[in-house]
Amino acid sequence: MSSAAGTPSDGGGDRPWQSYHTAYTNAKAGMEGVDREKVQKVIYEMSKGSKYFENEQKKEAITKLKIEHLRAQCAKLTDNDISHFQKIAERKILELEASRDLSKIWLHTDMDAFYAAVETLENPSLKEKPLAVGGMSMIATASYEARKFGVRAAMPGFIGCKLCPNLVFVRPNFERYTHYSGLARKVFQRYDPNFLATSLDEAYLDITEVCSERGITGEEVASELRDAVHQETGLTCSAGVAPNRMIAKVCSDINKPNGQFILPNDRDAVTTFVSTLPIRKIGGIGKVTEQMLHQVLGITTCQEMLQKAAFLCALFSEGSTDFFLSVGLGLGGTETPEHRLRKSMSCERTFSATNDSRLLFEKLDNLAENLADDMQKECLKGRTLTLKLKTAAFEVRTRAATAQNYISSKEDILIYAKKLLKAEMPLSLRLMGLRMSHFSGEKDDSTSPTQKTLDRFFHSSDINSNTNGTNGASCIDVSGGDNDCNDATMKDECSIHDAEKDVPVDQRPSHEENSSVPEGASSVNYDNEVASSSWKVTRIEKFDELGDLTSSKASASSSKHGQHFWVDGYICSMCGFELPPCFEEERQEHSDFHLAEMLQQEEAVDGTARLSKERLAERPCSSATTPTPKKKLKSSKEGKHIPIDSFFLKCNKNL
């Protein structure tokens, strides 16, 4: 078994920055000639000692434990095991190959450095200058002139200034970007009325019908579309044409900026193309997945997925294995996904870390206004509001409140958002977001949220019988690590798009496109300050991107009080939080938290029982108060049931 040479070190050695991998050290288009080691060294030196650095160390330690766990599993495999899994892999490959569809022609288009290009178009004096859209805390997009210095999206602005002293900053203007995105989408509709927009500057188009009707090739359509976009917007875009969406996206990045790449609808051409393709080029394979595949199995290219297929089947879950094998075969989505009703709407903002409560509530007010405006534009009303917080220590928390009635106004949103934020204060934040879900008119939703059907009533009764909540409020608190910008949440027009995201492969539909979240439960009381509103609070914190990737992942349960231990040496058995052994103090604090939580619950139960006994003792023991037994209903024929047909026969005789 091959062990990768790039195993992360503990930070020692002469060049510790070589093992320091972050989301923004990976090359993007326009960074081909950049001195990678120099960029890594600058990022390492400027990040060292920061809360972000400490958080990255924790995540790196957890990744190393996962890799060691997989290696141990791999070492236990016998020849018979490998032979068994090889047969399974061969059967899977045959099934996947049989599903290959070469009849469709997909085009993926991506605007070139979109935000920066729009700003340059609006202000020609910025042309040919190294430009960054964003601020000192975070860069949303960097121009190609800035990328030559190693500056890129998802990089803090102060690091960008260190790499490029002449870097020019421009604040984002999302109204402007939305306008230009709308102009480009009008062009896309000419070629595919049902095109799939994945963000403001990216889209997938099924051009099969256009090519057939007009008798032209995919290459001609790509050239024509790019020219039309430039004429309509004054901006350039790049395009990729391939038999499926996954490969088309990879192709659009090959000749950036202002270029295109065409892959013929031929099986040999596709398999040859993916044979040497680095696995990190595939959407859905992030830095953790890349490290695991490389350091455990020595996989660096897509073709090697097929060569190590038996080990993939043995070590990973079925969903992950199918995805990996599909990548090795060059398979992706070919059918246009069915239109689905929007499930949620969100917006978020990143800012310099602050603990100023006045400023935080001001930012919350702005977010509520933006969310309310977006919802009212689409005539949407929702019931579940989620508050997303990222602390100064890069810890991500998610708090959710469910209202009794559907809401959409800024004022209603703020009622719940303020209550959620107030419960977390005091704290220092660097990111805040709001998301509304559970919209009216959803498939499983009744017309009146307060009226339940009979089966829903009994279903909810079963759930309530297993919870220890009070006043109808249940609270879930799981501590977790940040997930590097949230691996595949759909990009919102209010969110920074260009930041790179790692997506857990088990959750990607059609093997193309953020992780299982273990939950632990405890009860919490809240003052019901909102008149005629009952609401539920849920606390969920995000986990590492590959928490659900391996098939041996243990499920954490909070129901087993007093049995706290660390699964696989780093997973909390009670809530699923991952913390490596090297963080002794943090692990002790985490154990103490569960102990305190258990004691609080025991005290609450004892207090309730004691109060009940006191009340019973206060009751007068009088015969007058003795409850009288209910009269038994007399049944006909001494309790024998009448058959239904006999009953109706008897009724008819009486008539």
Active-site residue list? 202
Q: Are 414 and 370 in contact (CB under 8 A)?
A: no
Please tell me the distance from the alpha carbon of residue 573 to that of residue 322, in angstroms, as a whole number.
29
- Say how many CA atoms lie within 13 Å of 228 toward its Cβ: 17
First to last CA, the chain: 88
Distance, CA of 147 to CA of 36 (rounded, Å): 12
User: What is the C-alpha separation between 346 and 417, in angstroms, rounded?
Assistant: 13
What residues contact residue 356 under an 8 Å CB cut-off, 6+ apart? none
Do 328 and 309 meet the contact criterion of CB atoms below 8 Å apart? yes
Q: Is 202 in contact with 107 (CB distance < 8 Å)?
A: no
Strand ranges inside 102-259, DSSP E = 106-111, 131-134, 139-142, 168-170, 196-197, 202-206, 237-242
- 8 cis-preceded (ω within 30 degrees of 0): no
H, E, C per residue of 10-60: CCCCCCHHHHCCCCCCCCCCCCCCCCHHHHHHHHHHHHCCCHHHHHHHHHH
DSSP codes joined into one string, 586-633 = HHHHHHHHHHHHHHHHHHHHHHHHHHHHHHHHHS---GGGSPPPPPPP
Phi, psi angle pair for 316, to nearest 5°: -115, 165
| Pairing state between β 396-407 and 536-540 | antiparallel
Helices then strands, each counted (H, E), the chain: 21, 17
- Kindly state the tokens that stand for 209: 């019908």
Q: Is residue 453 a contact partner of residue 560, using CB atoms and an 8 Å limit?
A: no
CA 285 – CA 513 distance, rounded (Å): 10
As a whole number of angstroms, the distance between CA 242 and CA 169 comes to: 37
